[in-house]
Each structure stands twice: as C-alpha cells, then as structure tokens.
Structure 1
C-alpha cells in the first residue's frame, strides 16, 4: 500500500496556491559561452553562465532513448556525437500524467506529457573550476515516482554558495520505471528479472558521473546522492542495491519512507496491489506487444485515481536492482546497506501539504481562500500522521543502525513555518513545515509554489529564511565534502549522541539547535489517547488513518476503544 496519497488539488486561490495550476511559461534559451566548453566521454559540449556566475549544462544525455526495443530494459549507452553539442535547454521530461505540482512549459494538467527519450541530467558548477576536485552532489527529484523533472530543481545557487558541483537527474517514472512481468524475463534483456528500471537509470547516471565528473571539476571519489520524498525512497534503494557499489560516498534522505512490493504482488498473483502487471499486459494485448504499443497505450492500460495519479508498485523486490527482501528491514541492517555516512530527516508538518487539499479537513471560502474546517482537528490529524512518518522513516531506521554500531548517521527535523498570509488564509498554518517546504532552503532558491511563492516567501520572512537557507546549504555541502554536516550555525552531532537530532528553524522562531529526539509509535499513541483538542470519534478516525502505514502502526493504533461489535476498527470500516 502506498503511504503517501496525492490528493486532487482544489481551487485554493487564484492569487495563491491555485497558481500552481497555471502553465509555466517557456523561457528564453540562454546564449552559449565558450568558457563552458568541456570534453565528455561522448563528445564536446558547451553550456552557459548564470547571472550569479554558475556554469550550467542542461539536458546532457547519460543513456539512450528508452522507447521501442529499449523500453523496460536496462538503459543503453548513448552514442557519441560529432562537433560541439550545445547544452542550453532541458531534456524532455520522462512520460507522466501532468499534475499542478509539475509546472512545466506546455504541460496540461491531467494529460500524458513527456518523451521516452528523457534520460538526461543537468550540471551546475561554481564557475570555471578547471581541474578541481570539488564534491559532487547528485539530486534525485521526488513526485511519488510518477511525476517530476530535473529542471524543477536548479542548483546554481547551491553550487556557487557552497563551492560544490550539483547534478540533477531524470529517470523513468510510473509504469515505465517500475514493472515486473515474465514476458520481460524471457527475452534477451540485460539483468534478467530487473523490475525497477528507474533504479537502473539512476545507477547509469551515477556511472556517467564517474566517467565525467572530472571534466566539470568534480571528484568522482566524492559523490553524495540526495533526494526528497520519492527521490529519498530511491536513495534508500541505491543504499541497498547490489549494483551501486562504489558509485557514491554519502547519502541524504529528505522525507523518505521505505516500502516495497514483492514480485507476486506486483504481477497480481497474490495480494491486492492495484494495477498489477498481469492485468496491464492483458489490456495491452499480450507480452509480445510490450515494446510495440505506444506510450499512450501503456498509460491508458492503468486505472487512474482522481483522474491523474496511478496506483502501481513503485519499488519491487526483484532480487536484481534490490534484494528480494522488504526494504523496510534492509535499511535497518548495516550489513545490507552501503557503508557511507547518512543524513536522514523529515519536516515537522509533513502531511499538511496533503491535508491542505483534503475536503474532509479544509474548505474553500468565497471560492477563493482555503482554510481548515476545524483548526484543532486539522492540526491534530497533521501532527499525528507526521509524527508516525518521522518515527518510521527516521527513528526506527537510525536507531536500529546506531544500535548495531553504525555511528555516522545524522538526523534532522525541519520546523520553518513562517509562510505568509493572504487576507483570511494563513499559509504558515495551512502548510506549516509541510512536505517539500525544505527544498527551497537546501537549494537557496525560493521557487516552489508558482505565483504563490510571493506570499509564502515574502519580505517579512526573508531575512530569517535566507539565514536558515544558507545554514542548511552549508550543512548539506560540508557533509558532501567530508561526511560530517558542519556549519557556523551550530554543531550537528550524530544520532544517538547527546541531543539526538538537529532542529532546523529560523532565528525568528527558535533557531537551530540539537534536541533529544527518538519517540516511538507507543509514545505517539499515548499522546493521541489523551489529546483534548479532538473528540473520541475524531480520535478513532485519526487512529484508523494510521493503521496502513506499516505492520507496526497497524498493531499500535488498533485502539480497543475504537472497536465496534464485530471487532473492526471503526475508522477502518
């Protein structure tokens, strides 16, 4: 079962978050600059120079077109080119159903967009660094592994501010990125049995980095992978993959959860996984059609949720890209993951981003403003689900690793909740320190909500957020530089040391500090049972919503007080 459900967006405000539904305007193509000329293993390239002095190369292919005979295969080598390639425009995004969260030029919400010729990356360097040996930070975007693109995450400020190389990668998404069927096993594809083609793409991108980092002044022996949400899920997969040895040397997991699906579940032979591959293949006309049907046919074979998002396996225990074991156990085992330093953390109010658009918890006022229906219930529902997220993603994993002798694990909690107000709508309350809000702080580029950014990130909170952003960029980059997150903003000690986790907030609201941290699901349950903000019925509804997060949460939050006569939890009925 997928932990994060992407809820259909409703009209938040024409002047605020509904701006996310507007199409992004195409941008002018920058002018090539001879100072950015580089020689890669596949040919000569030239990029351009950003206003802040960063050197940038866009849309560099690291593998061949994945359409036709290359569909559902390991990524194939990209051919060399003659002459000098101008790397001035972004690659086409990988095929996906467009959502208001993917503000890309030409994308129409709800439509299939993108191209199978999409395996490319963007490189940002802090100017002309010559033959330097700078740390390389490879960003893996989020989007539930069904949407997103590298161009949404531009690393020129992080590169210049922190003197690092930043690379943003695209990879196959949705059914093209995660698919298991015996019809694929029977052909001559490489890595027979592989099902996580997105992970194979990321491995190919990291192999490209090994071959080409030095051309940009980067050190191939000092590569850190970092990602958020589904990107962090993929970081976890790379940590346990037997195919990614020696390709990276540090990992940062931002709001990542760990879940995986067995091959029988993915194929529909067991369990109740929606859109199993056996049914999809039948809809496509049989296994012999998998590489001859159009990409439109592939996506049309999947039932959609809310008209946009597809339910499908997004990490399959294929025994090739990841071991044939649950990832939730693998990431807690030092013998199963890479022996590299790790940062992992979550945002304090993760679920507010999703609950802000949930008609059960919020409403539209005058068709313009989005506000909670009941502030106490809204905050309680967000708090308990966000705390469960953190316990499963951070405390259980980091605690298990430290208990077994892995001490280079660092944890954080992002608390910034100073988003601006627009008349009766308070983004600080509605979104708080919600899912993905930390990304602009890491990249020092406050571009997240489209036209609503001017309200979320305003002049009133500018000084505090800029200070927090520079501190976070320093922590992230110094971790990439030497495996220890350092900053003048304060000491960040490993998990398990006195203090536990670092809390990241602006000086206006508590600042940056180490705090004791390590609650359990039982701790969360104890608080839920006595919470005076909510009624007993609401308590049962919240508990019921937490049952499906994991086997542990199913046991802990099956409250006896919420059992009906037939012993079914009321909120789960």
Structure 2
C-alpha cells in the first residue's frame, strides 16, 4: 500500500512566483491559502511578488471581514465554519489528483455565496473540493475575495485613484482567474478549460464575470446555482456619493478626507458603515453591496444585455424549489384530506385563488403534495427563467436549465432549501447528515456530480443515469428535474410562476430574523447561505 499522507518535497508545486508546498492525502494533493494577489484598500489588486525558497500552503488564508457577526442558525440543514478575518484576503485553495503539468484536467473554480457582502471559500462544510476532484478527475479551486465595503464601495466621484473601487471585489476574482490561467498547469489543470461555478451570490459573481471584458479568455464555461435573483430589500437604495458621505460622517471624517478613510482601522470602518446603514434604515432606505456598472463592468445582462463573448460561453443555470421558505413546517401532510390541504393553501393565497393555485402547481409538479405550493420560490426562479430565455436567444452556446426539488427527511419532509443542492454537486453528502436519504442520496449525488464534471469537461451535462437533457431555446425552457426520480420537463412552469407572482402576498426577506430565538437577544444576521 502507498503512503496515505505526505507533506514533503513530493508535494511541492512551482508557481510563476515561486514554490509552494501542500499535502497529499488519500489520492488528492491539497493546497490551502495560496496568495494570488495583493491590494491596498479600495484599489485594484496587483500580482504577488516572487520569492525564494518554498512557502507552505497548509492553512486556509484569511477571509474577508463581515459587517455583522452571524447568529448560529440552521446548522443541521446548512453546516458552516468560520475563520480569522482580514481585508487582505486574496487567497485561493486547490484540490487535485496530480501535479503533472501534462495532465490537462478540467478546472472548476468555485465562487462562494453570501451575496456580495459575506461568506468565504470555506464557510460551508460542503465547499471542500477533495471529493469532487477525486470523483470527477478534475482540479477544484475555491477563492476568497473582498466583500461589502472593502470590495464594493463606490468612491469614483472622489477622484481617479478610486475610479473602480466599486468593483474591487470583482477585480480580485479576475486576478484569481489570471493566477489560475498562469499557474494551474503546475497542479495538473488545463488553463484552456476552466469552468467558473457558484451558488447564490457566487452565481451572481459568475454572471458578473461574463460582463467584464478583462475576464474574457480566463474561463470557458459557467454554472449559476440559485444565482439569478431579485432584490431582497425594499425602499430606496442608497449608493454612490450619498453613502460615502454618511460613512465619512460616522467615522468622524470630512468630505475631503477620503484618503484617510482608506487608512483607518478595519473595525472603525465597519462600525462607520453599520452606523450609516442604521441611519438610512430609519429613513426607509437600504444599502445593497453590488458591482458598479462602468467602463470596466458592463452591468447586469438582464438590464443591459449579454456581451457577445459571454453569449458564446456554455452555461448551466438553475435553482431549488423551496429556496427561502421560512414558513413553519406542516407535519404529516400526506395524511391530510384534500380539503385540509386546500385550506392550508387558502391561508396564504386566499380562498378565491386557492383552487387555481393548486391546479397550476399540480400540473407542474404532479408528484408533490399540494401544500408545497406555499414554498415555491419566487425570489430566484422568475429571474432564472428569464435568464435562460435571453441567453438562449442568439444560440451562440448551449444553455441548460435545472430544478432541484428534493424533499428531505426533516421537519415533515422539508422541501429543498437554499444551499441544499450544493453537497450533491460537490459529491460531499457524506459530510452533511441531513442529505443522507436512504435509496436516494447515493444515486442522485452521483448523477449531479457527474453532470457537473461532464459539463466542465465538454460543455454538455448529460450523464449516465439521467434522461436526455437538451439545451433551452428562446421559445422553450427545457428543465432537468433533479429529484428522487430525475426527469426532463419542457415549459412546465410557464403557467405556474407568473400566476404565483400575481397572487402571492407581498414578501420582504429579512435575514436578521431568520430562525431567531425570542429568548436570545444576541445581535447579528442569521446564516442563510
């Protein structure tokens, strides 16, 4: 038998800037915390400087500071882990089965969720890339980058040095992809076959990269998981100069002190941002951290259209059926009478709409209990459907669509929630107990992981164990239903989603109250990504 664990001269890789040492365990070489760039606050990233000797890549790098301490919530459904924070967070991690530059394996670069304001490359337990690298014979990379005020504060009106500060976080990701392009051969990867994939905010970052000319040629396929969404806030958005001026005020600085804002301690800056957000919230306004359209970043394609280059990128797009379903569980729902089920539906949609809501839902999802229609996602799915239609219009590259709709054995068969599909894509259900469903998990995980790997390899997600999966067209959305039984449906939601949008009561998503405990007065936002 061979050595199961190694951390020696055999686990050293040579990058453009110098040598780094990772470790080998059970068939996979792992490198944690590789610095891919450096940057001053609010400035564009720069390449790392060369070094002599061998640097260790045995510990995860810093993650970007968050603005509020998260409150432990829902750890059974979405297990998390945290790490030391520092705004100098340009680090990536690599998992690979070989260090042979001739291997030319497909490369998958993971962009984490948490919007553009939170999260990290290691935050969810299931983000670990070892199992996927081993199962799919691919190279997996995950990336940290600047977020929130450190990555998306638009200071452009304060002078040329800050002209792209509102996109510093996205610039980090471009720098990471450049690093991958220049160095991934040393880890057995093919720089000409790179797939970027991400979930929630990570999916939105995938789309944003497609709208940045500087990223052209650095990736060749795109996977967007629950990443096309509407704003979750209500009121008037505060951005640009108005936001910066209030942050300066809260930090005790004057309008011409922007340069000092770039130098104050991180915690002082965070406190000023939080104070500014609190003030605006009291006025019915909100702050939303997002990339800023300019001559570097074109803008959201649903607003301004897809760039020609991005149109030619094969894309896999989808969501899960439940996403942010915050309603109390209904136990023993299959034992309820038809009238009892209808009454539950009527509680949300009203007696006048209940029957039609049920009819349309059962037409789309005939095997689901009627009460699940209360949980159907309207934050991600409408935008996802619009996205696949628009990106399919020119036919320059295939666009594949999916829906993850598993019911899990928790809380009376809970419908798939935001993030519940990630362990299946990563081949990591063994790490997440709630994902282990007898007779289901092993088969579903295999076909989903293989679909992802096949897409990364060739731009086609078809895999053994799945029915034939055709790309979408401008006229028809072809959806692979990923469930206990996988099947393909065409336009199955066209009568459901628009109708639900019309009859669903107004909904405001507030992560700060998710899973809150009346007996716990601790502050912070709940974990929901």
Same fold (TM over 0.5): yes
Other structure's SS at 2:31 match: strand
**Counterpart selection for 1:441 from 407, 424, 436:** 424
1:486 maps to 2:486: no
Whether the aligned pair in 2 keeps the contact of 1:41 and 1:211 (CA below 8 Å) is yes
In structure 2, do the counterparts of structure 1 residues 225 and 525 end up closer, same or farther at CA, with 3 Å as the change threshold?
Answer: closer
Whether the aligned pair in 1 keeps the contact of 2:170 and 2:291 (CA below 8 Å) is no
Other structure's SS at 1:219 match: strand
Q: Which region of structure 1 is more displaced relative to structure 2, 314-323 or 158-167?
A: 314-323
Give the C-alpha shift of residue 466 in structure 1.
1.8
Residue 251 of structure 1: aligned partner: 222
Whether the aligned pair in 1 keeps the contact of 2:155 and 2:165 (CA below 8 Å) is no
Give the C-alpha shift of residue 145 in structure 1.
2.1
**Counterpart selection for 2:153 from 166, 179, 190:** 179
Give the C-alpha shift of residue 154 in structure 1.
0.9
Map residues 103-252 of structure 1 onto 2, 5 A cutoff: 103-105=80-82, 114-152=85-123, 153-182=127-156, 185-187=159-161, 192-252=163-223
Q: Distance in 1 between matches of 2:247 and 2:297?
A: 23
Whether the aligned pair in 2 keeps the contact of 1:347 and 1:435 (CA below 8 Å) is yes
TM-score, normalization by structure 2: 0.77
1:93 maps to 2:63: yes
In structure 2, do the counterparts of structure 1 residues 444 and 41 end up closer, same or farther at CA, with 3 Å as the change threshold?
Answer: same
Residue 399 of structure 1: aligned partner: 389
Whether the aligned pair in 1 keeps the contact of 2:13 and 2:186 (CA below 8 Å) is yes
Residue 370 of structure 1: aligned partner: none
**Counterpart selection for 2:274 from 268, 292, 303:** 303
In structure 2, do the counterparts of structure 1 residues 119 and 184 end up closer, same or farther at CA, with 3 Å as the change threshold?
Answer: farther
Residue 282 of structure 1: aligned partner: 249
Residue 483 of structure 2: aligned partner: 505
**Counterpart selection for 1:472 from 448, 451, 462:** 448
In structure 2, do the counterparts of structure 1 residues 122 and 516 end up closer, same or farther at CA, with 3 Å as the change threshold?
Answer: same
In structure 2, do the counterparts of structure 1 residues 405 and 175 end up closer, same or farther at CA, with 3 Å as the change threshold?
Answer: same
Residue 356 of structure 2: aligned partner: none
Q: Distance in 2 between matches of 1:173 and 1:528?
A: 31
Q: Distance in 1 between matches of 2:301 and 2:268?
A: 31
Q: 5+ unaligned residues in a row in structure 1: which ranges?
A: 1-29, 108-112, 270-275, 364-373, 530-538, 549-573
In structure 2, do the counterparts of structure 1 residues 293 and 158 end up closer, same or farther at CA, with 3 Å as the change threshold?
Answer: same
In structure 2, do the counterparts of structure 1 residues 486 and 60 end up closer, same or farther at CA, with 3 Å as the change threshold?
Answer: same
Whether the aligned pair in 2 keeps the contact of 1:407 and 1:495 (CA below 8 Å) is no
1:73 maps to 2:73: no
Whether the aligned pair in 2 keeps the contact of 1:416 and 1:505 (CA below 8 Å) is yes
Other structure's SS at 2:506 match: helix
Give the C-alpha shift of residue 486 in structure 1.
2.2
How many residues are treated as equivalent by the alignment? 448
Relative contact order higher in (CA < 8 Å, ≥ 6 apart): 2
Map residues 54-65 of structure 1 onto 2, 5 A cutoff: 54-64=28-38
Q: Distance in 2 between matches of 1:336 and 1:48?
A: 38
Give the C-alpha shift of residue 337 in structure 1.
3.1
Q: Distance in 1 between matches of 2:288 and 2:476?
A: 39
1:328 maps to 2:302: yes
In structure 2, do the counterparts of structure 1 residues 183 and 471 end up closer, same or farther at CA, with 3 Å as the change threshold?
Answer: same
1:545 maps to 2:507: yes
Q: Distance in 2 between matches of 1:129 and 1:463?
A: 38
Runs (4+) of structure 1 moved beyond 6 Å?
378-382
Residue 524 of structure 1: aligned partner: 497
In structure 2, do the counterparts of structure 1 residues 375 and 49 end up closer, same or farther at CA, with 3 Å as the change threshold?
Answer: farther
In structure 2, do the counterparts of structure 1 residues 209 and 183 end up closer, same or farther at CA, with 3 Å as the change threshold?
Answer: same
Whether the aligned pair in 1 keeps the contact of 2:228 and 2:387 (CA below 8 Å) is no
In structure 2, do the counterparts of structure 1 residues 333 and 173 end up closer, same or farther at CA, with 3 Å as the change threshold?
Answer: closer
Other structure's SS at 1:303 match: helix
- CA shift digits 1:312-369 (9 cap, x unpaired): 332233314412x554223x536373521000000011122xx15xxxx579xxxxxx
